[in-house]
Amino acid sequence: MSSREIRLVSRPNGMPTTANFTLAQVELDPLHDQQVLVRNLFMSVDPYMRGRMNEGKSYVPPFELGKPLEGGAVGEVIESRAAGFKPGDAVTSNCGWREYFIASPKELRPVSRGVQPLSVYLGALGMTGMTAWVGLNLVEVKAGDVVFISGAAGAVGNVAGQLSKLRGCRVIGSAGSMEKVMLLREECGFDIAFDYKVGPVVEQLNLEAPDGIDVYFDNVGGETLEAALSTLRVHGRIIACGGISGYNESKPRPGPSNLFNMITKRLTMKGFIVRDWLDRQGEFDEEVGGLLRAGKLKNKETVVRGVGQAVAAFIGLFEGKNVGKMVVKLN
């Protein structure tokens, strides 16, 4: 059996280009005992993968040149020589960026086929949905809080906004186009949304939240973090989730010029990495899965087709081409 996979061939300098990647064909070995053959149905592309394309120490090791990339995926079992897995079972794994793969049972997590489309396991019920949920719990977001979310139309942002609304918060979002702003207001229940590209963020935020905000869910960093620091109320909280505005910078940018607000306003800023919270997976599945099944939470996604389009989908994250979770459908 042959499979196609995407490999990193050179480390990007700034914005990644298609020249940094190659599509390779590989032959898979016959299955041994305790192995499962999986066909990926959907794979995830995520902003954090950009960091893994750089050399150097981080919270996850860098991707190796000449090797297939890795990442979240959901697929179906084609053949199994391991107890507990049979053809047709749906499984999630970290073996994305390829069409087929052979895995040991511990690399696979069985999921229900009752949830459709299965790409939901990469979005609202997947790593990004869990990131939104963990972030809100981290600073105990509660009814009455005014919550501002950047990257609001993205995978983490739109779920964070919907969950905040369900908790009884007033929710403000920023995103990079009027189309996204409309979606946030009309389909995701945000009270207010604005396009961060049309004017200084601090001016737009002060206009929309003249009395300040209680919580800032930071997905982008940079100018938006600086604006939030100036708009947060006394004892405000910041969820430090991501900083995509700086991921393609070759040198770190200077931090916010107004960090002194942390002191004068007695702010709290908490960073986290979602995978440190995997012991809460069951609780997340129950709460957020329940909301999804009850129709109270929507899974938003942008679907790109074919492993050959995976690199374009990944680069598209930095160009704002996605609404909700960016996924690649493999066939």
Determine if 193 is a binding residue for ligand NAP (CB under 6 A). Answer: no
User: Distances from the Cα of 163 to the Cαs of 66, 74, 295, 296, in angstroms?
Assistant: 40, 24, 13, 9
Minimum Å distance from CB 93 to ligand NAP? Answer: 17
- With respect to ligand NAP, which residue has the nearer C-beta, 46 or 191? 46
Minimum Å distance from CB 20 to ligand NAP? Answer: 18
Determine if 320 is a binding residue for ligand NAP (CB under 6 A). Answer: yes
- CA nearest neighbour of 134 among 241, 236, 27: 241
Which residues on neighbouring strands pair with residue 195, listed in sequence order? 175
- With respect to ligand NAP, which residue has the nearer C-beta, 68 or 243? 243
Cα torsion 97, 281, 163, 240: sign: negative
- CA nearest neighbour of 112 among 133, 89, 93, 130: 89
Q: Are 217 and 242 in contact (CB under 8 A)?
A: no
Stretch that binds ligand NAP, among 9-17, 108-116, 270-278, 281-289 (CB under 6 A): 270-278
Stretch that binds ligand NAP, among 25-33, 103-111, 139-147, 148-156 (CB under 6 A): 148-156
Determine if 72 is a binding residue for ligand NAP (CB under 6 A). Answer: no
279 Cβ contact partners less than 8 Å away, ≥ 6 residues apart: none
Determine if 181 is a binding residue for ligand NAP (CB under 6 A). Answer: no
CA distance 243 to 65: 25
Determine if 242 is a binding residue for ligand NAP (CB under 6 A). Answer: yes
Determine if 261 is a binding residue for ligand NAP (CB under 6 A). Answer: no
Residues 18-47 that bind ligand NAP (CB under 6 A): 46-47
Stretch that binds ligand NAP, among 64-72, 111-119, 176-184, 249-257 (CB under 6 A): 176-184
Determine if 48 is a binding residue for ligand NAP (CB under 6 A). Answer: yes
Stretch that binds ligand NAP, among 8-16, 32-40, 169-177, 286-294 (CB under 6 A): 169-177
Determine if 188 is a binding residue for ligand NAP (CB under 6 A). Answer: no
Strand duo 100-103 + 109-111: pairing: unpaired
CA distance 116 to 109: 17
**φ/ψ (deg, to 5) at 237:** -125, 145
Stretch that binds ligand NAP, among 103-111, 170-178, 253-261, 303-311 (CB under 6 A): 170-178
Angle ∠(53,55,61) on CA atoms, nearest 5: 75
Determine if 273 is a binding residue for ligand NAP (CB under 6 A). Answer: yes
**What is the edge-to-edge ordering of all strands in the sheet holding 192-195?**
192-195, 170-175, 146-149, 213-218, 232-240, 268-271
Determine if 155 is a binding residue for ligand NAP (CB under 6 A). Answer: yes
With CB under 6 A, what is the number of residues at the site for ligand NAP? 30
CA distance 190 to 208: 12
Name the residues that contact ligand NAP, by CB under 6 A.
Answer: 46-48, 128, 131, 151, 153-157, 175-177, 180, 219-220, 241-245, 272-274, 317-318, 320, 322, 326
